[in-house]
Homo-oligomer: A and B are copies of this chain.
Amino acid sequence: MPGEFELIASHFARLTPPRGDVALGVGDDAALLVPAPGQELVVTVDTLIEGVHFFADCPPAALGHKALAVNLSDLAAMGAEPAWALLALTLPRADEGWLADFARGFSDLACRHGVALVGGDTCRGPLVVSVTALGQAPTGQALRRAGAKPGDGVYVSGELGAAGLAVRARRSQITLPAALAQHAAQRLDWPQPRLALGLALRGLASAAIDVSDGLLADLGHVCAAGGVGARLDLAALPLPEGALALASHEELLGAGDDYELCFTVPASNEARVPELAQRLGLALTRIGRIEAEPGLRLVDTAGEEHAVAAKGHDHFR
């Protein structure tokens, strides 16, 4: 008797990797999982909604990828090893082709990171994708937002701002040169969760967060959690080439969807960062330093300091 749940089961569960720590997967009232001894469970949920988090023409494979990626990005920010996921999917109709593409995007990423889909719920409704991701980290070793201390270096992985440019381009607010347009679309639709970086930052970083709401908002969270402030060097920011001709610093840093990690490193550990960047093949850029005084201060290329309110993408504003 294939029904609502069997729909998801057939498309998804077979496509994600088997794990020895799944005692019972999709197909019962709940999944049974075997937590590893000595580990804390790391759990997060994030929802993507058509018209809010993605455009109606987003390819279903990209949507499947992104729905899992944004959650794995949260696990990365905690320094967790991902393990299991659950998917709550509402969609206007049971379109086999759409579902197959969505499932492929989801499962390709799940396979790459060894994540088993262990449960879900599918029903008819507006297109809303909610994923719960579960991971593990050795007790006491997970990264947190709190912990940054004055003097710590502020770092960001990869590059910032391209996904925000893609959003503005799709809204016809700006026109991007062809090469940048392709790069920005890739960044928006196919974010790569920085899981290997998160694991490597255990014991190295003093605080971490994923840049999902824009750097200014997310670094603001780190500062608030630690009771500190930060000074950022605008000239150091890893922005795409040509970006500043298309948007201001504040626009680029206020946009969401970067899914990089922003983290702070005590000065005594900073010498280890370049070697880590090399090992991961991932840019890790120091963009500023933590200060005791609360608030964010941007230092422009002329050396002028600007205090900024930490504001980011807020779906209720």
Q: Interface segment, A23-31, A246-254, A270-278?
A: A23-31
Q: Contacts A126-B128, A130-B130, A145-B29 given: A45-B121 contact, CB under 8 Å?
A: yes
Q: Which residues of B contact A28 (CB under 8 A)?
A: 78, 144-146, 225
The reply to whether B128 and A30 contact each other, CB–CB distance below 8 Å, is no
The reply to whether A86 and B43 contact each other, CB–CB distance below 8 Å, is yes
The reply to whether A30 and B43 contact each other, CB–CB distance below 8 Å, is yes
A215 to chain B, nearest CB (A): 14
The reply to whether B23 and A44 contact each other, CB–CB distance below 8 Å, is no
The reply to whether A316 and B124 contact each other, CB–CB distance below 8 Å, is yes
A177 to chain B, nearest CB (A): 32
The reply to whether B29 and A74 contact each other, CB–CB distance below 8 Å, is yes
Q: Select which of B42, B52, B119 is within 8 A of A125 by beta carbon.
A: B52
Copies in the complex: 2
Q: Select which of B3, B32, B41, B51 is within 8 A of A40 by beta carbon.
A: B32
Interface 1/0 per residue, A118-145 and B, CB below 8 Å? 1111111110101011110101001011
Interface 1/0 per residue, A41-79 and B, CB below 8 Å? 111111101011100000000000000000000110110
Interface size on A, residues (CB 8 A): 78
Q: Which residues of B contact A43 (CB under 8 A)?
A: 30-31, 33, 84, 86, 118-119, 132, 134
Which 8 pairs between the two chains have the least Cβ-Cβ distance?
A: A30-B44, A123-B315, A35-B35, A49-B125, A29-B77, A126-B126, A33-B41, A29-B74
Sample of 28 A–B contacts (CB below 8 Å):
A1-B224, A1-B310, A3-B314, A4-B316, A24-B144, A28-B144, A28-B146, A29-B77, A30-B43, A30-B44, A32-B137, A34-B40, A34-B139, A35-B35, A43-B84, A43-B132, A43-B134, A46-B121, A47-B88, A49-B90, A49-B123, A51-B125, A52-B123, A86-B132, A93-B316, A125-B128, A126-B126, A128-B128
